[in-house]
Structure 1
Amino acid sequence: MAMPKITHHHKHNPSLTLLLSFSCIGLLCVALLFDFLLAASSSSASLFPSLSPLWTLRRQQLILLPNVTSSNASALPPEASAESRTVRAPDRLLSATFSDLPAPQLPWEPMPPAPVPRLDGAAIQIDNLLYVFAGYGTIDYVHSHVDVFNFSDNTWGGRFSTPKEMGNSHLGMATDGRYVYIVAGQPGPQCRPPTSRSFVLDTVTKRWDDMPNLPDPRYAPATQLWRGRLHVMGGSGTNRHTPGLEHWSIAVKDGKVLEKDWRSEVPIPRGGPHRACVVVDDKLYVIGGQEGDFMAKPGSPIFKCSRRNEVVYGDVYMLDQGMKWKSLPPMPKPNSHIEFSWVVVNNSIIITGGTTEKHPVTKRMLLVGEVFQFNLGTQKWTVIGKLPYRIKTTIAGYYDGWLYFTSGQKDRGADNPQPKKVVGDMWRTRLRLSSSSS
């Protein structure tokens, strides 16, 4: 049986048609405007890539990181669609100052600043005197002198010059209580190659003498006197970037070198510059550091610094009379630029400041603002306080119950741990630690 055909009749409404047309045009305009603004935003970010992350950091102190991992996707069955395999785990909020560790505030008080601002300088404390060597004033200017701080009356004075042939930064350095042994380092500003030249200084007479050159040039090697020999380890090679594993030593006594040549020793397990090197109770410790560093830009007549990838670590190694490296508990977080940032107090090694891993979003260097304690009895690390600000390449000293630090490169402010100004500031705080090994 045929079904009857049903026909619907509608009245045409011109006003309604016109209204719908204008609405569609309006939505199209909004979409085009949004697309234009988005393109403009992307363009400005690409024009100023170094500034836009900083604006993000200052505008919002929390950064949203998508937590997408390949392990999430691999957990899906093979027949899953490509769209379903793009797995997005819950986002996590990352503070712009995520590198800071919880630590108590310490009552720091300002002291007379160093006569010059100084970055990547070196220092040796002998009794109540802190000898502060060379360093960058700016990336284009380096110091060629020694400033002396007297802890007894908290004054600076007694400046004297360094040899013209000596490195101006990233030196290896150790002392026997009178003589200072200065090894290798970088001559000149920017990112010039390191030297192998080495010297010895008599701090009483202020006389400089030559030492045998290292077998190869070295940039920021770990250096220490141990068991009658000057030991030089790690650092970077001639391009400033490639980590060195070599370990050399030479016999010295009372400022005299007793051998003609350096002797090869057991290589350090992990190479690289910017490490603390400490001798306590007949054991040699090498702490923290990094693999890689800035290099000279190819073809640059002034050896202009060019950024390279760096890996910062918190590894701790110990060498005892058995001459075998042992791994000890690592630092609470990776830390570098701490060559002269340490002191020994009551069976503990104290380290101030440094640099840690780069920010995961901006990829910028991050400074360290904590004070670390390594108890040699328990072999445990503790974060015992905060510095007045985050800072790298500090020069530390300890005298009459006071912990001092001076110089280095400080952060951009409480909300931005990136490095900015090179300073000569000096601070101190009371620090009394128990000598207990438990």
Structure 2
Amino acid sequence: MSSHSTGTGKHHPVPKRYALLFACCLLLAIALLADFLWASSSNLSSSSHSSLNLSLDSSNEVVAVSVSTPPQPRSIKKKKEPKAVNRELMYLNATYADIPAPHWDWEEMPEAPVPRLDGFAIQLQNLFYVFAGYGSIDHVHSHVDIFNFTSNTWVGRFDMPKEMANSHLGMATDGRYIYAISGQYGPQCRKPTNRNFVLDTKTKQWSELPSLPVPRYAPATQLWRGRLHVMGGSKEDRHEPGLEHWSLAVKNGKALEAEWRVEVPISRGGPHRACIVANDKLLVIGGQEGDFMAKPGSPIFKCSRRHEVVYTDVYMLDDGNQWKQLPPMPKPNSHIESAWVIVNNSIIIVGGTTEKHPITKKMILVGEVFRFNLDNLEWSVIGRMPFRMKTTLVGFWDGWLYFTSGQRDRGPSDPSPKRVVGSTWRTKLHL
């Protein structure tokens, strides 16, 4: 007999097709179980860990804020974070940042007939003469607009001599005659001129003065003790600061000498400074070393950036023989040659430009209003403009502080320059 039993206890072999089906089902079950366990672990991890965001509390300390982040479907792509340089746009250290200042209420006046940058303005009583300037980098003005502070309207316009510089002028007045010294002739970064002119504001007639020994961009210019003083500015390459100082005796719009006299050189050269006579002393405030230059070989003298250093320096000449240094400005400031007035024995300076941003290297505009008290030689920040602005043209009449024209910022959070404007504003000044 066989050792294997027969009947109901007999084992039949399993067909191959069923074995294959069973194996497939087993593998599928194992895969589903593994997927379930992975998903459970992922959800548990997501719910038990949260992302960390940084914010500032009321004490300006950095604190960690826990924010739960639900798991995202795989099909949704994460948004790209902004580049690091964009996150740094908002960062300014103490040298570059806005200085805290009292809030001022400003009233907008009629806009200037044309926008202008790097022009100049001279106030004679209630009339404000606004000269030349860029309309854009490729267009310069060659005329004068007049604003009447009494009626708060723009009331006149007349042409400048065709040979006269269009920007970066030096200017001074004796109360009737306005002296216009050197500057840049034409748009972009063209060469300077050494030709000088004088305007009789009564007759609107122009005449010419003896030329400077050499051309200059934006020299500090002022009428002091019967002599027209011209100093500093940039040399013919538009970038190198000049230290030379000349003077010319003038009276009633006429030169009393045929040539300019050499005076004591200024301690530090450069353009875009305020030059002021106060209490029979000659003061030079702020400014910079270096400026844009013409790109080599460019047929249109296209402007090319160069390194610039903006400074806080204040110099005074009281005896004609030696420059003295006075307390510096609260922050470096340039492009303020026509941004000042004298009120109650104080120099008021509105806007300007400071050192470039240390990361983005963009120019930073200034929105503060500064006061230099001539009684105690102390600086203070007394107010803020409605926006930051460079090369403002500033006047004062009947208790009101005015400014017009220049290049304004890109908004409250971006102090870099944007549009050239002709905006005109005023505020009541309380000192």
Question: Structure 2-normalised TM-score?
Answer: 0.80
Measured after TM superposition, the shift of residue 432 of structure 1 is 2.8
Measured after TM superposition, the shift of residue 321 of structure 1 is 2.4
1:175 aligns with 2:173: yes
1:264 aligns with 2:262: yes
> In structure 2, what is the Cα distance between the partners aligned to 1:96 and 1:108?
26
Aligned partners of 1:148 and 1:159 also within 8 Å: yes
Question: What SS class does the counterpart of residue 195 from structure 1 fall into?
Answer: strand
Aligned partners of 1:99 and 1:368 also within 8 Å: no
Structure 1: which amino acid aligns with 2:324? K
Aligned partners of 1:103 and 1:370 also within 8 Å: yes
1:192 aligns with 2:223: no
Question: What SS class does the counterpart of residue 87 from structure 2 fall into?
Answer: helix
Structure 1: which amino acid aligns with 2:170? G
1:11-410 equivalences in 2 (<5 Å): 53=85, 55-57=86-88, 61=90, 63=91, 94=92, 98-410=96-408
Q: Deviations over 1:191-229 (max 9, x none)?
A: 001110100000010000010000000000000000000
Q: Deviations over 1:287-316 (max 9, x none)?
A: 000000000000000000000000000100
> In structure 1, what is the Cα distance between the partners aligned to 2:319 and 2:344?
22
Q: Deviations over 1:127-155 (max 9, x none)?
A: 00000000000000000000000001001
Q: Which runs of 4+ in 1 moved over 2 A?
A: 55-58, 94-98
Distance 1:329 1:97, change over 3 A: closer
Q: Deviations over 1:326-364 (max 9, x none)?
A: 000000000000000000001000000000011111111
Structure 2: which amino acid aligns with 1:309? H
Aligned partners of 1:96 and 1:416 also within 8 Å: no
> In structure 2, what is the Cα distance between the partners aligned to 1:393 and 1:362?
22
> In structure 2, what is the Cα distance between the partners aligned to 1:426 and 1:110?
6
> In structure 2, what is the Cα distance between the partners aligned to 1:422 and 1:97?
25
Measured after TM superposition, the shift of residue 56 of structure 1 is 3.0
Identical amino acids, percent of aligned pairs: 71
Larger radius of gyration: 2
Aligned partners of 2:292 and 2:306 also within 8 Å: yes
Structure 2: which amino acid aligns with 1:176? D
Aligned partners of 2:264 and 2:320 also within 8 Å: no
Structure 1: which amino acid aligns with 2:422? G
Measured after TM superposition, the shift of residue 112 of structure 1 is 0.6
Per the alignment, residue 427 of structure 1 pairs with 425
**Count of matched residue pairs:** 355
Structure 2: which amino acid aligns with 1:163? P
> In structure 1, what is the Cα distance between the partners aligned to 2:322 and 2:312?
19
Aligned partners of 2:96 and 2:364 also within 8 Å: no
Structure 2: which amino acid aligns with 1:333? K
> In structure 2, what is the Cα distance between the partners aligned to 1:95 and 1:423?
28
Which blocks of at least 5 consecutive residues in structure 2 are unaligned? 1-29, 39-79
Measured after TM superposition, the shift of residue 98 of structure 1 is 4.9
Which blocks of at least 5 consecutive residues in structure 1 are unaligned? 1-14, 24-40, 46-51, 64-93, 434-438
Q: CA RMSD in A?
A: 1.9
> In structure 1, what is the Cα distance between the partners aligned to 2:263 and 2:257?
15
> In structure 2, what is the Cα distance between the partners aligned to 1:144 and 1:179?
18
> In structure 2, what is the Cα distance between the partners aligned to 1:310 and 1:165?
29
Question: Structure 1-normalised TM-score?
Answer: 0.79
